[in-house]
Structure 1
């Protein structure tokens, strides 16, 4: 973990220099690493180590209390880091703001790790026997992290649908790079129809409700969302034409597929960028402010659009 944090130096330098797209993407990846690596570490520590100590020493020590406080602060900073990451990618936050959050999180985490090293080993040695120590290690290794409970929100529903759409796109790309044009075209048609149906449901049902709410946050104007849908549709048509132009008998087929992959990556990045806007602005605002009947209609429209694609 310390080694990974040391590698943030180059990201901080990129943010300091004002370099744009790559730094924004890297920032998002690091925020994801925090949620996938650091936060589970905190959860294991609480569920395994702290609980074992509490069984033997009901009165919480000052060292453990400080570690728990660290956990609270780190979780708050992790959320700030994720928020600043998507804002930076959307252009709603500056590199300097991102740099500040990143530096603060790293400093807090390194400070916490040092406190762990200074507090926990002596306390465990004083409290647990050798056999108990071995059992603690096994519990740590076998501990299963708490799975997130479905919330039933529009944000969660849209996130699941976009993950499914991304899987469809990846299945198409797998067939394409295998030069299986028949399967690639079948999968592309399924993906394209599913994506367009999803966008149509948003445009016809969700967007009118969103427009009624007003007081849009920065980066959440309805015109931006509509423009991104049009941009995605245009690029979808371009990629469709390029796919249809490929021939299985063309001796340069493999080269054409490889050269065309960068367009797919750009397209995937465009969708990801749009998904970030939806997941962090559009749907959370609908979840918070739309009426129950409006949210039900939106959920039904999104579900129907996906079901229609699944039946193909």
Structure 2
């Protein structure tokens, strides 16, 4: 039996990559932090593309979602997340040349903490609405067809 909610496993992979990025920041290994952040971004953007191109169009068309689960909220969160990542990449790239390294690093980590709260709320919304509602309304055949189109399923890449 196909289960759309199993796609939540992708979030664990994504979260682990961001943790490794932050660990590298804490060890002042900015090159590694940037490399991991780029891998995180690639994984996250692929996951978002799967949601935006495969899951959300079906959800919009067929689900009876409450206001708290409106598709616009998912799309808006994705826009905000992409914007934050651009800033994080630039700040991480510039970190070695900063004259007040401790201050700038703490500011970056603070911004990243805010970002992680956004991600947490977004993930909760997906877990409460998007994935379970798709599981409920799609036939097993439709779920298999949908999952066959999804690029990321929760394995490390």
Taking structure 1 as the reference length, the TM-score comes to 0.47
- Partners of 1:228 and 1:253 in 2: how far apart? 30
1:153 paired residue number = 3
- Partners of 1:273 and 1:172 in 2: how far apart? 21
1:166 paired residue number = 15
1:94 paired residue number = none
1:53 paired residue number = none
Say which of 210, 235, 238 aligns to 2:87: 238
Give yes or no for contact 1:228–1:274 (8 Å, CA) kept in 2: yes
Higher relative contact order at CA 8 Å, sep ≥6: structure 1 or structure 2? 2
Give yes or no for contact 2:63–2:134 (8 Å, CA) kept in 1: no
Gap change, CA 1:301 and 1:172, over 3 Å in 2: farther
1:291 equivalenced with 2:139 (yes/no)? yes
- Partners of 1:159 and 1:269 in 2: how far apart? 17
Q: For structure 2, which runs of at least 5 residues remain unmatched after alignment?
A: none
Bigger Cα Rg = 1
Count of aligned pairs between the two proteins: 157
- Partners of 1:246 and 1:238 in 2: how far apart? 12
Q: For structure 1, which runs of at least 5 residues remain unmatched after alignment?
A: 1-150
Q: Write out the 4+ residue segments of structure 1 that deviate beyond 4 Å after TM superposition.
A: 306-309
- Partners of 1:290 and 1:198 in 2: how far apart? 20
Gap change, CA 1:309 and 1:197, over 3 Å in 2: farther
1:196 paired residue number = 45
